[in-house]
Structure 1
Amino acid sequence: MKIKVIIADDNSFIREGMKIILNTYDEFDVLDTVNDGKEAFNYCKNHDVDVALLDVRMPNMNGVEATKLIAEQTKTKPLILTTFDDDEFIIDAIKNGAKGYLLKNNDPEQIRDAIKSVYNGNTVMQDIVLEKIKSNLQDNKVIELKIDKTLFTERELDIMALIAKGQSNKEISKTLFISEGTIANYISSILGKTGLEHRTQIAIYYLTGKISR
């Protein structure tokens, strides 16, 4: 069974180019290409679409706004595919339900693998995107957390926040004045409570309140 995909981008050259690339892979069926987020949402609402590739900066409705509607009102999984200078939208896109955030300059094989991974229920975050998230947190931008704080102790929440900022156990030890061994125990507790497997997943969970694998 092929993965049914649509592509939303207001640049026709990029839009059609991506369609040609994806159609070279047997596992994809590119159903349509659209010009903006509103068209993408309407298409997903009226058709059976597995993954929607969304640009961020589009007229009428941008990719972040479309992501929210698609995630809330359809079964389609939104995947942001955009340019490096759209990084201010990263956290909003993730909060709105984006299942991935990739840059357009990736190799076609990486984009293919990302679509397949998102289709299979995973969340895909490129390393450079995670670095942008950490940078935003370090700039002390206000982040409205969606996690269930009642599940965790205050110390666990402190450690999760520092992990999301990209700090290592050694750096967290210096920040909180506790041993690295104690920090490792706290991280084990966090992983146990959430069912997550590693630090990157903790960072995404802390920002979005969603368990992603």
Structure 2
Amino acid sequence: MTTTPPPPPPEVLRVLVVDDQPLMRSGFSMMLSAEDDIAVIGDAADGAAAIDACREMRPDVVLMDVQMPGMDGIEATSRIVTEGLSRVLILTTFDRDDYLFDALRAGAGGFLLKNSDPDDLVDGIRAVAHGHALLAPEVTRRVIEKMTTSPSAPTPAETTSGTTPSATTSPASPSASTPSAATPPASSRALDGLTARELEVLRHVARGLSNAEIAAELVVGEATVKSHVSACLSKLHLRDRVQAVVLAYEAGLVHPGD
């Protein structure tokens, strides 16, 4: 009699929680630990302690607050990303543009507000762990407006010095060769190398749809959408979906209000 082997256990994502408030650290740790595929391996109360913890424990994702005594979350994110210690998801109470753009310049993989739905936070950790960019819906439009109305403004992938942080990889997440994250060219010619289907997928990405939502819209499998998104990023030499959104607007593929 042939027996079917049990499915492999899910990949467990190692998360470090960084917040200066003990109650917040405890609450996030308890919530995340309820997930089968997430393990909270430690916490830290400020940016300097977060860097030390990352060097020691090498988490897959750091859940990072912004306002903390001593070294803040933005500076800590920049150092963590530059050293390739982990990917970072910013989680803050403060819905401020300077925090948002500073976090993206520092190399954060995502930006959520603390009033986000718990399911969105969990999904966000999974997304960032696998190299996807993530922005809270309420801040996505501000990114688009900033990038499309301020020609001199740096793109989210640029650092304050004009260079781009190296792509981070972690022991438990697949290493990927990441194209140079140069400022996307504001020309429709940049899109000439995409197929009609890839253009369609890029248009939906720019509208803020997830892979699952795009798959439902186009009546294709989610894996197919993921393949098209990867092809777009590779052909256009982009680092992540945030840059893809900016390029789509700059090239006129979509317009504010679409």
Provide TM-score, normalisation by structure 1.
0.69
Please give the residue correspondences for 1:1-213 in structure 2 after superposition, counting only pairs within 5 Å: 1-137=11-147, 140=150, 143-145=153-155, 146=158, 148=182, 152=185, 155-156=187-188, 193-194=235-236, 201-204=243-246
Q: In structure 2, how many angstroms separate the alpha carbons of the residues matched to 1:88 and 1:102?
A: 14
Q: In structure 1, how many angstroms separate the alpha carbons of the residues matched to 2:69 and 2:51?
A: 13
1:19 and 1:204, CA in 2 relative to 1: closer, same or farther beyond 3 A? Answer: farther
Please state how far the C-alpha of 1:133 moved relative to its aligned partner: 2.0
Q: In structure 2, how many angstroms separate the alpha carbons of the residues matched to 1:43 and 1:141?
A: 39
SS in 1 for 2:90: strand
1:26 and 1:85, CA in 2 relative to 1: closer, same or farther beyond 3 A? Answer: same
Please state how far the C-alpha of 1:5 moved relative to its aligned partner: 0.4
More helix by share: 1
One-letter amino acid of the counterpart of residue 92, structure 2: T
Deviates more, 1:60-69 or 1:85-94: 85-94
Aligned residues: 176
Q: In structure 2, how many angstroms separate the alpha carbons of the residues matched to 1:9 and 1:130?
A: 24
One-letter amino acid of the counterpart of residue 67, structure 1: T
1:99 and 1:114, CA in 2 relative to 1: closer, same or farther beyond 3 A? Answer: same
Q: In structure 2, how many angstroms separate the alpha carbons of the residues matched to 1:97 and 1:4?
A: 19
Q: Deviation digits for residues 95-134 of structure 1, max 9, x if unmatched?
A: 1110010111112111111101111121111221212323
Identity of aligned residues (%): 31
Q: In structure 1, how many angstroms separate the alpha carbons of the residues matched to 2:24 and 2:111?
A: 17
SS in 1 for 2:36: coil
1:61 and 1:139, CA in 2 relative to 1: closer, same or farther beyond 3 A? Answer: farther
Contact 1:6 1:32 in 2 (8 A): yes
Q: Aligned residue for 2:210? A: none
Contact 2:15 2:61 in 1 (8 A): yes
Contact 2:60 2:129 in 1 (8 A): yes
Please state how far the C-alpha of 1:22 moved relative to its aligned partner: 0.6
1:148 and 1:122, CA in 2 relative to 1: closer, same or farther beyond 3 A? Answer: closer
SS in 2 for 1:93: helix
SS in 2 for 1:25: coil
Across the aligned residues of Structure 1 and Structure 2, the Cα RMSD in angstroms comes to 3.3
1:74 and 1:202, CA in 2 relative to 1: closer, same or farther beyond 3 A? Answer: closer
Provide TM-score, normalisation by structure 2.
0.58
Q: In structure 1, how many angstroms separate the alpha carbons of the residues matched to 2:134 and 2:182?
A: 23
Contact 1:4 1:28 in 2 (8 A): yes
Q: In structure 2, how many angstroms separate the alpha carbons of the residues matched to 1:141 and 1:61?
A: 31
Please state how far the C-alpha of 1:85 moved relative to its aligned partner: 3.0
One-letter amino acid of the counterpart of residue 11, structure 1: Q
Contact 2:50 2:76 in 1 (8 A): yes
Q: Deviation digits for residues 32-74 of structure 1, max 9, x if unmatched?
A: 1110111111110122211000001111111111111111113
Q: In structure 1, how many angstroms separate the alpha carbons of the residues matched to 2:66 and 2:28?
A: 15
Please state how far the C-alpha of 1:26 moved relative to its aligned partner: 1.4
Contact 1:45 1:74 in 2 (8 A): no
Please state how far the C-alpha of 1:75 moved relative to its aligned partner: 3.2
Ranges in structure 2 where 5+ consecutive residues have no aligned partner: 1-10, 159-180, 192-202, 208-231, 249-258
